[in-house]
Amino acid sequence: MRKGLFVVLGLMMAAMPMMAGDHVMQATRGASSTRNGDASLNGANGENGANGETLTLSLKEAQDYAVEKNRSMKNASLAVEEAYAQRWQTIAAMLPQADGSYSYSNYLGYSATLSMMGNNVNIDMPNVGALGVTASMGINGQGIVGVLLNNIAIEMKKLSKEQSESQLRGSVMSSYVSVLALQSIAGLLDSSLVNIEGLSEMTQNAVAAGAAEQTTADQLRVRVNSIKNSINSQKRNIELAKSSLKVLLDVPVETELVLTDSIDAILSPEKMLELLGTNFDIHNNLNYQMLEKSTELAKKNVWMAGWAYGPTISLGYNYSNQHYYGEGGMRMTPPNTVQISVRMPLWSSGKRAAGVVEKKIAYEEAKNTLSETGDQLGIQYQQLCFNLNNAYETYLNEKDNIEVAQRVFASATEKYKYGASSNMELTNASNDLITAQSSYVQAVLNLVNTQVELEKFLNN
Q: Is the pLDDT of residue 174 over 70?
A: yes
Rounded to an integer, the average pLDDT of 50-61 is: 82
* Percent of the chain predicted with pLDDT > 70: 87
Q: Is the pLDDT of residue 49 over 70?
A: no
* Contact (CB, 8 A) for 446 and 399: no
* Segments making up each domain of the chain, as ranges: 2-458
Nearest to 23 by CA among 87, 94, 98: 87
Q: Is the pLDDT of residue 18 over 60?
A: no
Per-residue pLDDT tens over the stretch 151-172: 999 999 999 999 999 999 999 9
| pLDDT bucket at 377, cuts 50 / 70 / 90 | very high
Q: Is the pLDDT of residue 62 over 50?
A: yes
Rounded to an integer, the average pLDDT of 256-264 is: 92
Q: Is the pLDDT of residue 312 over 70?
A: yes
Q: Is the pLDDT of residue 192 over 60?
A: yes
**Of 16-30, 228-242, 262-276, which range is least confident?**
16-30
Rounded to an integer, the average pLDDT of 126-140 is: 90
Per-residue pLDDT tens over the stretch 341-361: 999 988 888 888 999 999 999
Rounded to an integer, the average pLDDT of 253-262 is: 92
Residues in the chain: 460
- Per CATH, which fold does 2-458 belong to? Outer membrane efflux proteins (OEP) (1.20.1600)
- Please report the pLDDT score of residue 125 as a whole number: 78
- Please report the pLDDT score of residue 277 as a whole number: 87
User: CA 245, 248, 250, 254: dihedral to nearest 10 degrees?
Assistant: 20
